[in-house]
Amino acid sequence: MGWDINQRTNLLLGLFIASLMMANLLGTKITSFELTPILAMPLNFIFFPVVYILNIFLHSIGGNAVPVNFFDTVHVSVGILTVPLLFLITDIVEEVHGKKKVREFILIGIISMLVAIVIAQLSVIAPPAERYTKNDAYVQIFSSSIRIMLASISAFVIAQLHDMWAFQFWKKKTKGKRLWQRSDFSTIVSMLIDSTVFMFIAFYKITPQWDTVFIISLIIPYWIFKILFSLLNGVVIYPAVSWLRGTRKSAK
């Protein structure tokens, strides 16, 4: 396609908004799958130091330990699949356009979420036609509490603002080099912030059992899985930055 840089940026904005909407719409479903030993064993080995240190921390606060064979069977929300993509897109845009354009993406994302929430709530409130027999399932899928909505928006804004700041911070430290590492350093911490803010606002003390220790026990496995996704950024980010700039030369 002979698109210019503005058209390519608009495409990334569309993917950004679509990923954001999917993260919220799909996030209530939990999936589980088993990795083959040829994949699970090296991942368990690579992440063993991380899991070990986290388990020491969890033990110190009275939390449940994360299994050392974490990657044998993975339990995650399907919405997690879009979260690393959100941070990858903003890193690509910031590398080419700078912080101002990323702020525009974040603002458009906030407005889009608010509009989607209002429309979804109006759709749930609207009375179903007599011939429509699936309203209970429709309401269950599309109705969300105000607390969940606030948690989602708060986590998105805080994590994205941190990612924007951290990416620029590491860019200055590395004098514009080491794009992959800059993206990973900013994204890994930002995804921890995203999970932490969302979990605490959405679920803290919804019952007495959902205390600080239990919330942290939920956050850590999700974060480990997100780290794995972020480490794959290097496969995409160099050609993506080159594509957005309209050049064949990869960013360094």
DSSP string over 124-166:
HHSPPPTT---HHHHHHHH---HHHHHHHHHHHHHHHHHHHHH
Note the pLDDT of residue 252. 42
Note the pLDDT of residue 250. 41
Note the pLDDT of residue 240. 92
Q: Which of 226, 202, 205 is closest to 214 using CA atoms?
A: 205
Note the pLDDT of residue 104. 95
Residues in the chain where the model's pLDDT stays below 50 = 249-252
pTM: 0.79
Note the pLDDT of residue 27. 66
Domains in the chain: boundaries: 5-245
Note the pLDDT of residue 249. 45
DSSP reduced 3-state for 60: helix
Distance from CA of residue 108 to its chain's centroid?
A: 17
| C-alpha separations of 121 from 5, 21, 145 in Å | 37, 15, 10
* Sign (positive or negative) of CA dihedral 87, 183, 237, 8: positive
Note the pLDDT of residue 1. 55
| Half-sphere exposure at residue 9, Cβ-oriented, CA atoms within 13 angstroms | 15
